[in-house]
Amino acid sequence: MKNKKTSLDYTKEVKKKIFDLGADLVGIADVEPLKRLKLTPPDLLDPFISAVSIGLQLPSAAFEQIVDRPTPIYKSVYQTANLILDQIAFRTAMALQNDGFHSLPIPASQVLDQENWYGAISQKAVARMAGLGWQGKNLLLITPQYGSRVRLVTVLTKAPLDVDGPIKNRCGNCTACQDACPAGAIKGVNTKTHYENRNEAMYFSRCVEKTVGEFAKIPEIEVPICGICIKVCPFGK
């Protein structure tokens, strides 16, 4: 980054590059509040000062085919989006590195702890702090533009980027996701900012039992996905 370029100018430049790579949403979060999250390894964020959250919209038609279980087409869309996001994150990290800033792409949808279902860092938490959306009653990120019909990826960096703040939760009294959940896993409890733990919002084990114990055993699916609460969210429509 040239000395005469301000952090705001550089942030705009970085965001433009990411949008040009195909992203639909980009936001910046300060890593300090994120250090309270469960991290793998625990010192994951120590070398960095900013977290770039990148979102990719999913085709709406893929959700309209879902009735009571995920479809093979939705599985393909889900996996393709993750691959695209990983490529965008990789290229973003390399562009930042080439500008002189140590950067690390965190793979989309990578599960490191398969017993408790945690990745290196919560992509949803980063996205919320980066202002891409709010945490819904289904624990997913809900964006104003696309609802939860997005996939997310994160790039950690030493680049001095201007931070975007969280936005207001707009779920209100809506219970669409709770009513539609085939596992009865969503409690319907709202939050102004975020849930301190999964159990505040969900019977998480019920979601795991449904997606891992049932949907992932469907021969054409074979991955723990669902998509039903995403389909019914009014913001996605």
So what's the pLDDT on residue 4?
A: 60
What tokens does 17 get? 């590059």
Rounded to an integer, what distance in angstroms lies between the CA atom of residue 236 and that of residue 89?
24
157 bridge partner residues: 50, 103
Is the sign of the CA dihedral 64, 68, 72, 78 positive or negative? positive
**pTM listed for this prediction:** 0.95
With both helix axes pointing from N to C terminus, report the angle between 7-20 and 72-98 in degrees, rounded to the nearest 10: 140
So what's the pLDDT on residue 237?
A: 83
Question: Cα dist. 193→39, 82, 131, 168, 187 in Å?
Answer: 20, 26, 12, 8, 17
So what's the pLDDT on residue 54?
A: 98
Ranges in the chain, pLDDT < 70:
1-4
